[in-house]
Amino acid sequence: DGSDDNEEGSAVENEENAKGTDKGKKRATPRTRRAHARGRDRHGDEDDEDDEGGMRRAGPRRHRSRRRGRAAGNETGDSDMEPTKARKNQANQESKEDDEEDEDEKGGKSGKGKNEKKGDKKSDKKGKKEKANKKKKDKKKSGSGSDSESEEEPITEEELAKLKEEVEEKKKLIATLRNKPWKMKKKLSVLKEAQLFVEKFEGALGKGKGKKFYAYKVMMTKKWMKFQRDFENFKTACIPWEMKIKEIESHFGSSVASYFIFLRWMYGINMILFGLTFGLVMVPEALMGKPYGSLPRKTVPRAEEATAMNFATLWDFSGFAQYSVLFYGYYNNQRTIGWLKFRMPLSYFLVGVGSIGYSFMIVTRTMAKNANDDGGGDDTSFNFSWKMFTSWDYLIGNPETADNKFASITTSFKEAIVEEQESRKEENIHLTRFLRVLANFLALCTLAGSGYLIFFVVRRSQQFALEGLENYGWWERNEVNTVMSLLGMFCPTLFDVISSLENYHPRIALRWQLGRIFALFLGNLYTFIIALMDEINLKARYFLPFTMFDRLLGNTEALQSLEEEKIVKYNMTIWEASLYNGTIPENSTAPPIQVDPADVPRGPCWETMVGQEFVRLTVSDMMTTYITILIGDFLRAVFVRFFNYCWCWDLEYGFPSYSEFDISGNVLGLIFNQGMIWMGSFYAPCLPAINVFRLHTSMYLQCWAVMCCNVPQERVFKASRSNNFYMAMLLFILFLSTLPAVYTIVSIPPSFDCGPFSGKTRMFEVISETLEHDFPSWFGKVFGYASNPGLILPFILLMVLSIYYLNATSKSYKEANLELKKKLQSVRIEN
Amino acid sequence: VYRLHGRYYEMAPNVVPMDYTKDPDVKLPMQLIINMPELKENPFKERIVASFSEDGEGSLSFNDFVDMFSVLSEMAPRELKAIYAFKIYDFNTDNFICKADLEKTLNKLTREELTAEEITLVCEKVIEEADMDGDGKLGFADFENMISKAPDFLRYYFKKN
């Protein structure tokens, strides 16, 4: 007994000392402590009583230590109550495993004792809050409550309620213990006590009033919490590539890692798009549609059959690949297929529209989330303080990166200092303005120049096409392609040079740069399309050199094939007639002749062509990226590393050196690529699948390349605010890329000979058809009323008004925020 | 936690026991701890270790060790990190971040690349920005107020275990 007491006493002592709140009491033996109970005489009385009670009982050791705990508790002040509770909670949450594994063996009795002591302290405190009498009764009863486990005394309602409260408080304590900045030991001890208290009294509470059920409920709650925790752990472990990204983060800082996080996010979106297209479009057709070879549209034409299986053809996505579920043309326009009566055309249409809608929704949602996280954005009121206290990236574990980080911190301080100094003297603002205007002017000139160049080159290529491509060499054939790629390579560098005139903060300069590159690409695109459209209007028939940006508007093919279609239809009727003519006289009804589907003449299928172009584009883009990485980064690194020994100047510091990871270039590439996917996935359901594959391999390849061949950037800039910028660009591109698809759905008739919508005048008619056939008639009527322009217009008006209203409210909130900040500042200054 | 114990043990296998049931009083000196790879590059490593150490001199018992990593982990709440960050930056442990503390922080951050003028300027700006009660140095309330608005704080204080 005595030894136990001493042990516990010393444990408590240690704990008290560790707390650092020395009440100035000597920790004598427990008995003396008891005797010295102060501060709460009432408690003291109770203690004595309980002591006696305890002595009386031949109960478990716990009770005795509880007494002692109470005594110890009495001696510590109120202020410790909260801390102890908090400590308990904290220790509980963060080191539950600790407790159970390490400390249980170690803590053992002493731990338990501590718990109970704390528990009793808590009870003490609770008692204090209430009236003395009640308290006394509580204490007694709680003492006897635990006794009741051995003595079977009844517990009153009151006590039950109070005990419940105490248990709840303990639980809260356990939950918040983690927040308290105490030493581990304290937390652990507090935690143990709280846990044991809760355990014990929860059991006790159940006594007498549906105990079994209560205990069961408690156990289930615990199990549920444990399950939740395990599930959270599991979920975190499941996040793909988390370890890779963390590694990159520690080497390169968080801005490079943000690119990979963006990549991973894109991968998620593409997975979902892939799931939609694969599950709802490709699989049903493959399983339940008519098999290959049964219909003309599903068969390789006789003329192409010989080369249909060649690798070259397959790589080009013609031949067998073209006549498969991968492309639009394969799908039959039967209204329902298979025994499930799966409505294929409807599903195709809805999946197309749905993937666009989903993409919009998720991009907007992410933007909103990012805006929220930003927390009201441009707060420059603590500029220097933040630089000082939060600029060191604690995640860096690599000396090289650390060096860079030091350098960048120094630079950022210097920058901030310079800005501060500059803001104190406002000189030469006119010069700066003039320079900036000049720089913008130069950029515009560049853009205009590149636009004109493209226009000129496209016109020239039309000329070549007219005169027959065979007469010209490789350059003329691929002129447009190469010119556009060259422009894409050199103009950004030019923009870079121009931006040095402007003297902006690097982050702002980066945004201008990105904006200009964006404008460059868009401008090139549009001039190209305009040049093409011109030509189409003049000569719709001629074979146009298909280049990258041509695909962007399927209109070119569509308009082309419209003409072709008429011709083919005419030809087909003649061909059919010729079949009949050969065997049976005209005007007699005869069974239709069986013709091998491969021999039937085909109508043009512009959707498949468009889809093919997109797929080819994606594949070539992927190849280009990989090869660029391999050559540009890897070979360069190898060259620099190995030739450094035998080269005149220091390669590593001088010209080639190792390449940095080009964040903005890569992000832009990713965004544009995604735009292509969105544009093309309506015509080629296989695109999301290809993209998923591409992103997957790209992730691994780039992670490897970054770790192996790149060096951390000189200017490790913050990634926090740029995220929304990329999202905004993504949203814009999404909008742009859905325009063509939507336009074709709404205004261009689908090919008569292929695809799920063949035979209809417009693709969206499949919806009205479904409404007629598959839904009860009243539904159709309702829909008819609802789609009445008289109803839709007011609805749109209402939405516009609500957007305006919400915008106005958010502005007013922001202003109120600013006002408050200003007030705060002025109050501070006053002080 | 086993992993942590493994790391702790690795640092001084002859001293750290595998078995903690007897609650041994084992402390590792600061020198060993600041050589851990996660901390090695950190300019504040001595301060980090010192602020978690019980005896204030930098020796960490296993409890403190676990404490340290748990605060630096992703699961710790912001307030707790703010409390410890304050301790880290308070070089002379007077519970205030005074100008001298700021200067030391700055020097550690920039490896003394800034001129004295610049250093003074920065420190003055910091105090101007963050000091709410006007005593010329940053108390915990000032620090907390300032840090809670910083967007990057949480990100840079995460650590993987």
Q: Are residues B4 and B33 in the same domain?
A: yes
**B123 and B150 together in one domain:** yes
Tell me the C-alpha to C-alpha distance, in Å, between residue A785 and each of A779, A780, A781, A789: 10, 9, 6, 9
In a structure prediction context, what are the per-residue pLDDT tens digits for chain B, which is 161 residues long? Answer: 666 666 666 666 666 666 555 555 666 677 766 677 666 667 777 777 777 776 666 677 777 777 777 766 655 677 777 787 788 888 887 888 788 888 888 887 777 767 788 788 888 888 877 777 778 877 888 887 777 766 655 555 544 33
ipTM above 0.90, yes or no: no
Q: Which of A246, A391, A407 sits opposite B160 (nearest CB)?
A: A246
Q: How many CB atoms lie within 10 A of CB B88?
A: 20
- Residues B12, B64 within the same domain: yes
The pLDDT tens digits of the residues spanning A213-256 come to: 777 887 888 888 888 888 887 877 777 777 777 777 666 666 67
Residue B36 lies in domain: 1-72
Same domain, B3 and B50: yes
Mean pLDDT of A280-304: 76
Q: Are residues B95 and B112 in the same domain?
A: yes
If asked whether residues B149 and B108 sit together in one domain, one would say yes
* Cβ contact, residue pair A95, B75, below 8 Å: no
What is the pLDDT, as a whole number, of residue A579?
65
Least confident of A580-594, A705-719, B122-136: A580-594
Comparing CB atoms, the residue among A95, A98, A382 nearest residue B150 is A382
Lowest mean pLDDT among A178-187, A568-577, A627-636: A178-187
Structure tokens at A17: 């000392």
pLDDT band at A120 (very low <50, low <70, confident <90, very high): very low
**Is there a single domain that holds both residue B68 and residue B118?**
no
Highest mean pLDDT among A37-41, A112-116, A318-322, B51-55: A318-322
Whether residue B88 lies within 8 A of chain A, CB to CB, comes out as no
Is the pLDDT at A544 greater than 80? The verdict is no
Domain boundary pick from B72, B103, B131: B72
Q: Is the pLDDT of residue A537 over 80?
A: no
Q: Do B118 and A398 touch (CB under 8 A)?
A: no
Q: Which residue has the higher pLDDT, A763 or A428?
A: A763
CATH number, domain with residue B99? 1.10.238.10
Report pLDDT digits (tens) over A629-677.
888 788 888 887 777 777 777 666 666 667 777 777 788 888 888 888 8
What is the 3-class SS of A701-713, one letter each residue? HHHHHHHHHCECC
User: Span A757-773, mean pLDDT?
Assistant: 79
Q: Mean pLDDT across the stretch A63-69? A: 37
CB < 8 Å from A in window 128-157 of B:
129-134, 143, 146-147, 149-153, 155-157
B107 touches chain A (CB under 8 A): no
| CA closest to A181 among chain B residues | B80
Q: Please count the structural domains in chain B.
A: 2
Q: How far is B12 from chain A (nearest CA, A)?
A: 19
List pLDDT tens digits, range A367-404: 888 776 655 444 456 677 777 777 666 656 666 667 66
Query: Do B68 and B94 share a domain, yes or no?
Result: no
A477-522 pLDDT, tens digit per residue, is 667 767 777 777 777 778 878 877 777 765 667 677 778 888 887 7
Minimal Cβ distance to A183: which of B20, B67, B121: B67
pLDDT score of A766:
79
Give the percent of chain A with pLDDT over 70.
Answer: 56
Asked if A392 lies within 8 A of B156 by C-beta distance, the reply is: yes
Contact map slice: B 109-128 vs A, CB within 8 A = 109-111, 113-114, 118, 121-122, 125-126
Name the residue among A95, A382, A396 with its Cβ closest to that of B130: A382
Q: Which of A97, A395, A416 sits opposite B1 (nearest CB)?
A: A97
User: Out of A236-250, A340-354, A469-483, A794-808, which region has the weakest mean confidence (pLDDT)?
Assistant: A469-483
Q: Please list every residue in chain A whose beta carbon sits closer than 8 Å to the beta carbon of residue B156.
A: 254, 390-395
Nearest chain B CA: its distance from A231 CA (Å) = 15
* Of B72, B91, B110, the domain-final residue: B72
Instruction: Indicate whether B68 and B81 sit together in one domain.
Output: no
| CB-based contact A406 B121, cutoff 8 Å | no
Cross-chain residue pair B21–A108, CB shorter than 8 Å: yes
Give the pLDDT confidence score for residue A11 in this predicted structure. Answer: 38
Distance of alpha carbon A107 from alpha carbon B43, whole angstroms: 37
pLDDT value of residue A697:
92
Statement: residue A550 has pLDDT above 60: no
Answer yes or no: do A179 and B77 touch at CB < 8 A. yes
Q: Does B22 touch chain A (CB under 8 A)?
A: yes
**Where a domain ends, among B72, B105, B126?**
B72
Q: SS3 of A777, please?
A: helix
| Rounded Cα gap, residues A336 and A343, in angstroms | 4
The Cα–Cα gap between A484 and A523 comes to: 11
Contacts of B67 in chain A (CB under 8 A): 183-184
Give the model confidence (pLDDT) of A6-63 as tens digits: 433 333 334 333 333 333 333 333 333 333 333 333 333 433 443 333 334 333 333 3
Closest alpha carbon within chain B to A179: B80
Q: pLDDT-derived band of residue A281, with 50, 70 and 90 as boundaries?
A: confident
Judgement on whether residues B63 and B88 belong to the same structural domain of the protein:
no
pLDDT at A798: 95
pLDDT of residue A270: 93
Q: Please check whether residues B101 and B64 belong to one and the same domain.
A: no
Option in B20, B129, B153 nearest A390 (CB): B153
Which one, of A53, A99, A125, lies nearest residue A193 by Cα? A99
Closest CA to A273 of A705, A661, A628, A738: A738
Closest approach of chain A CAs to the CA of B81, in angstroms? 9
Please report, for residues A409, A452, A547, A607, A782, the alpha-carbon distance to residue A620 in angstroms, rounded to integers and kept in the order given: 40, 26, 12, 20, 48
Query: Mean pLDDT across the stretch A119-123?
Result: 39
The better pLDDT of the pair A814, B88 is held by: A814
Q: Does B98 touch chain A (CB under 8 A)?
A: no
Shared domain for B39 and B1, answered yes or no, is: yes
Average pLDDT over residues A77-103: 38
Dihedrals φ, ψ of A179, to 5°? -75, -10
Instruction: Work out how many CB contacts closer than 8 A connect A with B.
Output: 163
